[in-house]
Structure 1
């Protein structure tokens, strides 16, 4: 029996590519370029399944032009805002994602960004690296202490809860806003705020971990940023469009927001050039889940979903 043909759109981990090549006929280009709308449409006539990343966009227009051969889109991501799910469903295409395996890696990066933003990591690194460090004073690079501070988390899914666990190691006081209050065993002592405004008002540090939806796009706008305590630190490892970047820049420039740690941006790749002039903004290029362990786990989860589908079983992470 012929193996199903799949398109792996990007360079996944070696272990993932090896397993895929063992079990499927694989189309993969080592050039590792994002798949365009034209690529997706053309490839849909050649393959039975696709493993895309968030760099491939399945818009309603793209989905309408997909060939009937394509049966499953097994995302190598948790977020699926790059997929028009109703359009794919109406086309009879199964969609899966990779939840539950990247929470710790992303939370680690959020913690790194939080600490780096609070303690002037960009400026300190530049001064030492450039050879400009020629003096010291008790007033030199005085930052914001993380230990014992109040951490507000928006979105207490897997990543939000993982960050809370790590932040407790810094004796942080955990507060959160979520669509629903968690059961006590998942809260683990965290304080629930039904009102987002109430959470913002007490957050010395604020970390975003909610999905990008019509309700959350532009969530942190001028009004909500103004509700934060002066000098707060904002961290975003979720989606760039959760933050109104113009509003964040204004809040940074007035020092109402003391610092920010950002792993995602409204424009990707590329980011926001206006942020580069502010050394109290620590930036990474959307690599929250980029550890070897997590990349293997994500790739294997995508393949597990494909395996189940082509066996005739329900994929474990079907959306």
Structure 2
């Protein structure tokens, strides 16, 4: 249903965005920016949603039911800066008649690059090798030095075969990995053929057959703790676990226990359950490659994300349905 036009909506942005994005927002809207690169405190968020037509949050903002309930009648659009919306209570927003948008697609290739980098880095022990060189303790090449495992010929299991999962599959196939995937819905036969991918309707069955597991499903009620202690136990001790999606999809305690106990070969992690806090036990493990949630951190990606946010706001302000409106059952 068409929305009434809003000539110059009041827009509040919760985090410092690229200068070009902020400049365009100021030109187009009645925009209030956050001058510092830090998330708003809870009280500041409440004040913001009571004083705007459009809120532009990021993944670091918790837009829960209580916060949405505190919003005045003025708030009509939450235009998220990013694709993931697990930090927004979609049901509460819908109940209040608040439209939620995100920015799908623009970060696909960047995130897939990061996942592939981790898929290579962990078995080949790149982080360990880099630390060895920096420590000054490297004594030179030797036949048995820094032995890792090749990835060519190994089986890659992908959980979540959407845009990012498919982009990872294309990269992995070029590295000689065979592609296995679990998804709610099977891909068309033509796409499976292009990717050389084998669908597993049963996630548990797939986990017992693979050498590397990479996660590319959104975080929601269905996927929270999807890779729990029971499923981690299904993975062989030779398996590497890669997560560049959301920390809450993996039971972090169970993963750490398995890594410490030698029941997993290693892990590559770009996301964390309690970001930015990281369990000290993970920091002590040499077979874990860790990056600071930087899978989408390219200038090009951030600018494209900003463009999508602006487009969503403009469509809404013109009385049209935004192109990236998120539905309650989003996956």
Could you tell me which residue of structure 2 aligns to residue 182 of structure 1? Answer: 187
- Counterpart of 1:118 in 2: which secondary structure? coil
More divergent stretch after superposition (69-78 vs 8-17): 8-17
Match of 1:156 among 158, 161, 165: 161
- Contact (CA 8 Å) 1:41, 1:67: kept in 2 or not? no
CA shift for structure 1 position 39: 1.6
Q: Distance in 2 between matches of 1:75 and 1:95?
A: 7
- Counterpart of 1:73 in 2: which secondary structure? strand
- TM-score normalised by structure 2 residue count: 0.93
Query: Is 1:288 the counterpart of 2:295 in the alignment?
Result: yes
Instruction: Give deviations 1:61-93, integer Å, cap 9, x for gaps.
Output: 111111111110000111111011110111111
Alpha carbon RMSD of aligned pairs, Å? 1.3
Could you tell me which residue of structure 1 aligns to residue 278 of structure 2? Answer: 271
Query: Is 1:12 the counterpart of 2:17 in the alignment?
Result: yes
- Counterpart of 2:12 in 1: which secondary structure? strand
Instruction: Give deviations 1:140-161, integer Å, cap 9, x for gaps.
Output: 1111211121100000011101
How many residue pairs end up in the alignment? 319
- Contact (CA 8 Å) 1:264, 1:271: kept in 2 or not? no
Query: Is 1:44 the counterpart of 2:49 in the alignment?
Result: yes
Give ranges in structure 2 of 5+ residues lacking alignment.
1-5, 327-331
Q: Distance in 2 between matches of 1:8 and 1:186?
A: 39
- Counterpart of 1:202 in 2: which secondary structure? coil
Q: Distance in 1 between matches of 2:201 and 2:191?
A: 16
- Contact (CA 8 Å) 1:119, 1:144: kept in 2 or not? yes
Could you tell me which residue of structure 2 aligns to residue 232 of structure 1? Answer: 239
- Contact (CA 8 Å) 2:50, 2:70: kept in 1 or not? no
Query: Is 1:53 the counterpart of 2:58 in the alignment?
Result: yes
More divergent stretch after superposition (98-107 vs 21-30): 21-30
Q: Distance in 2 between matches of 1:44 and 1:215?
A: 29
Give ranges in structure 1 of 5+ residues lacking alignment.
none
Could you tell me which residue of structure 1 aligns to residue 329 of structure 2? Answer: none
- Contact (CA 8 Å) 1:34, 1:56: kept in 2 or not? yes
Q: Where do 1:23-42 residues align within 5 Å?
A: 23-42=28-47
- Counterpart of 1:261 in 2: which secondary structure? strand
Could you tell me which residue of structure 2 aligns to residue 253 of structure 1? Answer: 260
Dislocated runs of 4+, deviation >3 Å: none
